[in-house]
Structure 1
Amino acid sequence: MGRNVTASPVSEKFTTAALLLMTFATGLVDAVSVLALGHVFVANMTGNVIFLGFWFVPHSGVDLTAAVVAFLGFLIGTVIGGRFTRHLDHDVRLWLTVALGTEVVLLLVLSILAGTGVLDYQDNGKLVLIAGLAVAFGNQNAAARQFGVQELSTTVLTQTIVGIGVDSRLAGGTGDREKLRYGVVFTMLAGAAVGATMTLVAVAPVITLAAVVVGAALLIFRYGPAAPARG
């Protein structure tokens, strides 16, 4: 049986805008984690699972501890997100406010701790940052998946890219949803580019920017116009 899909509290256009903002935030934080925290992903777990496979290869050069921390943190985040979904699904706007609000607060706390030097991302303090960021984006992914928009999981692009190829005119398809799919890819790419550029200077502001972007998505879900009722 398929999982239940939650109806967005806002129109399709605003839902897409909010999910694209969350996708941009993913690009930001994965740029930080890969470039500054030891070649580990905090939002995209596929890469970390591959890194964990390197555990069995001596001297692979991969920070396996960071990969384990990210994987477990992300899993904890999905559990938290699942609890929010099941306990607050009677009011979707409230649920998304709590879920995304939790992510925003966590990101802001991490940015403050990193910016003030409490967490030094050059030593074991980076593991706290990795864990916290992974929890935040595990929670985000748990929220986004409830809408059932395959292209907009906000953290994974594999199926989006598959869709571009399979449904393309070159493959005999109609090019359906092509603009959305290219938009999702470009959005994450742009987030990664901005995150990578900012990381050359400092890490904390990138995390702060991610919090602001997710906060904007929260405001859209909280106050955006509802989809018009179908007659």
Structure 2
Amino acid sequence: MPEEFPVARRWAVGALLMMTFASGVVDAVSYLRLGHVFVANMTGNVVFLGLSVSEVYHLPVVAPLVALAAFVLGTFLGGRLNKRFGRRPRLWLSGAFGGQAAALTLTAALTGTGVLRAEGRATLLVIALLGGCWGLQNATVGLLAPRDLTTSVLTRTLTALTSQSVFGAGSGARPHRRAGSVLVVFAGAVTGGLLLRVTLAGAIGLAAVAVAGAAAVFALAPRAERAAAARD
């Protein structure tokens, strides 16, 4: 099925790559600072829960469960927003991602001012806020349906990059986009890890800026037909 974005394709891809960068940042934050848990990649949390059955590994149980529950609630919200506003895609996408950016900004402000500290039970609230944000993002991006730009899980992207390349079984369509997605997550993780040496709030705030930028693109970027007309 061909992709149908409400804005010109290059703008849409750029926005999704910004959100992919944000995913790398927050998973670095959550894994390194919030107790070895993921907020964007739920596969890791399920694996951690499985391994925690054997107490010899001393892996957390509550934190992955909180992340999973918050993520699911976020995906539910994403589905409801699509059902309510999906026929107006600019409003739907800019609203969903704008709401996510607002929640991230609030989380950054609360951690930066010391209202929320990444220690003890308060860590679970930070995990829940971030997990809910990425549940909303994943649901929204999934309903938008760009198969090779999921913005968080790279297994499918890496598979498509190699198996559908000209050396595999496919035509090699969109290799730069797929490779870019992998590199952007890597860059996000590097940036998040480095920022954590200085500030937790700053790392979350950077993710908020990236998501807010994506929301602005879907709200303000030229429509596909306008972009095509401008090239003509």
Q: Shared fold by TM > 0.5?
A: yes
Query: Hey, what does 1:58 align to over in structure 2?
Result: 55
The Cα shift of 1:119 comes to 1.1
User: Is it true that 1:108 corresponds to 2:105 in the alignment?
Assistant: yes
Give the equivalent residue in structure 2 for 1:9. Answer: 6
Counterpart of 1:77 in structure 2: which amino acid?
A: G
Partner SS for 1:112: helix
Q: Is 1:24 the equivalent of 2:21? A: yes
Give the residue type in structure 2 aligned to 1:197.
L
The aligned residue for residue 45 of structure 1 is 42
1:5–1:146 contact (8 Å) kept in structure 2: no
Q: Is the CA contact (8 Å cut-off) linking 1:27 and 1:188 kept in structure 2?
A: yes
Q: TM-score, normalised by structure 2?
A: 0.93
Q: Is the 8 A contact 1:77 1:135 kept in 2?
A: yes
- 1:124 aligns with 121
Partner of 2:136: 139
Structure 1 residue matching 2:56: 3-state secondary structure: coil
**1:73 equivalent in structure 2:** 70
Between the aligned partners of 1:30 and 1:204, the Cα distance in structure 2 is 14
Aligned identity (percent) is 40
1:6 to partner: Cα distance: 7.9
2:164 maps to 1:176? no
8 Å contact kept, 1:5–1:148: no
What 5-or-longer segments of structure 2 have no aligned partner?
A: none
Letter in 1 for 2:188: G
CA change 1:137–1:168 in 2 (3 A) is same
The CA RMSD over aligned residues, in Å, is: 1.8
Q: Which runs of 4 or more aligned residues in structure 1 lie more than 6 Å from their structure 2 counterparts after TM superposition?
A: none
Distance 1:89 1:123 in 2: 40
Q: For 1:123, what is the secondary structure of its paired residue?
A: coil
Q: Which moved more, 1:57-66 or 1:69-78?
A: 57-66
